[in-house]
A and B are shown apart, each in its own frame.
Chain A
């Protein structure tokens, strides 16, 4: 799908798995580079979705970042050790961990 042309310098975790990443790149780019295509499951039908636009418009790249839900992965910069999970359906009404 995509191949990196620049070296990685850190790792992040996706659904408990460790993935290589590069500090400062968008979280969406890091996931795509690792071959992840499904970032979330829709609230309407539960079908898997991945990013469409990578520029903050489509909201199809929503993920859970360090416990904070509905984060646009294309607008979140990678930092070492970032813990990321799939956004499953609509966000819960829980205390925001962010």
Chain B
């Protein structure tokens, strides 16, 4: 029985603990696919786990089954085709739930669930490419059915061809909101209007970064085009300060600065943050506060190595840089893994990574401009009655009460309120709970610890876990 057969064998197959790979990649988005392709090019065995049914991640979701519409789609399709041909052992529908870092002289171990059974494998290098999640935009009524995120609607569009129809409103700020509006209109969708909640003075704040941003002028050009196309399509854009969702059992209307409008669907967006759910659960994996993007990111060296030997991070889960930057970061991390495993020399690694760094830097050039244009909405403005933690139904007011009682950090808040302790494990509310605590204490975000995550980072059933043991 080959090593690959052992992994695919059912729960009654032989113990999978003997299986070993050179590199395990988490996530089949731009960074993950690029890392896998590069690692395979240097002869390393690669296993890639991804939760979704097909490669692409969020930006290139369902890219293999869609007709390419633009340069980004074509890049994604090319990357996915190379990935399919790379010889990577690709596992779609696989959810990673634990990482055991390397021990003295040995590799690390990774655990996941796939097809109703848990599996594990030893690996020399782990490259985490977990991408980003949308920053929550907690407003009154955002837990009502019929309120979703803009990213969710984009996934429905890309994977199932669902277009918005009826009284559909977009609200919040950031590039994705405008991109989705354009994509939805192009597919024949209809929008009732866009509620622009971006803090005033965006252009004034962003202007000092214009020179740098123009190193990759296509980003700003695309943004302007999106806004122009949306306005030309006759979609009303309302600049507003306060927004609430209302309805009995489901969304019925939105109230914008005191004015009510009928609503079937409200799509919220306030930018994206790195997905650090797995790295935060690894003991010793240091994270730092990014005051510009107002988020935590893992501490990395120039190659994507974390503080934990053998564990690497690439792409947006290391800090938001977008899909094009993520591809280069994935390749750079794989080159470093190839060096660490003796497949290439340090000189070879440096020579190959040099041009990739230049390409990546160019793609990162507009970030400061964009970050200054769309700073996250202030957590201090979230009303006390608004639910922050959707799973445990904990309001901003209760979190502020906990702070008043002397609760200094997000982990203490768990004990006081259960915020962040539901099934999503703080994936959604994390940035909001953290921001509300920092604002209530009057300190910078870096002064407040983030939610500590623990393995298993995704729920698994006892049945799945039992399959890991194999035959006794």
Contact = CB atoms under 8 A, between A and B. Distances in A.
B24 to A, nearest CB: 19
B51 A75 contact: yes
B428 A1 contact: no
Contacts of A60: 390, 424
B233 interface: no
Interface stretch (B143-151, B304-312, B344-352): B143-151
Contacts of A17: none
A1 B168 contact: yes
Contact of A37 (B145, B164, B461): B145
Contact of A57 (B168, B188, B265, B428): B428
A65 to B, nearest CB: 12
A88 interface: no
A55 interface: yes
B264 interface: yes
A54 B152 CA distance: 5
Nearest to B61: A55
B145 A49 contact: yes
A44 interface: yes
B164 A1 contact: yes
B249 interface: yes
A49 B390 CA distance: 10
A32 B166 CA distance: 14
B363 interface: no
A3 B164 CA distance: 6
Interface string B136-178: 0000000101111101100110011111111010000000000
A15 interface: no
B148 A59 contact: no
A38 B250 contact: yes
Nearest to B187: A5
Contacts of A62: 423
A75 B95 CA distance: 10
Contact of B165 (A2, A37, A49): A2
Main secondary structure of the interface of A (DSSP, over half): loop
Contacts of B250: 37-38, 48, 50
B58 interface: yes
A44 to B, nearest CB: 5
B53 interface: yes
B152 A52 contact: yes
Given A38-B250, A58-B428, A98-B116, A53 B161 contact: no
A53 B463 contact: no
B459 interface: yes
Nearest to A37: B145
B390 A52 contact: yes
A66 B143 CA distance: 26
A27 B315 CA distance: 29
Nearest to A39: B145
A39 B143 CA distance: 12
A79 to B, nearest CB: 12
A42 interface: yes
Contacts of B151: 53-55
Interface in A66-88: 70, 74-75, 77
Nearest to B93: A75
B156 to A, nearest CB: 5
A26 B61 CA distance: 13
Given A32-B162, A58-B424, A77-B53, A2 B156 contact: yes
Interface string B43-67: 0000000011100001000000000
Given A47-B393, A57-B427, 14 more contacts: A1-B264, A2-B164, A22-B160, A37-B145, A39-B145, A48-B250, A49-B143, A50-B148, A52-B147, A52-B152, A52-B390, A55-B151, A70-B423, A75-B51
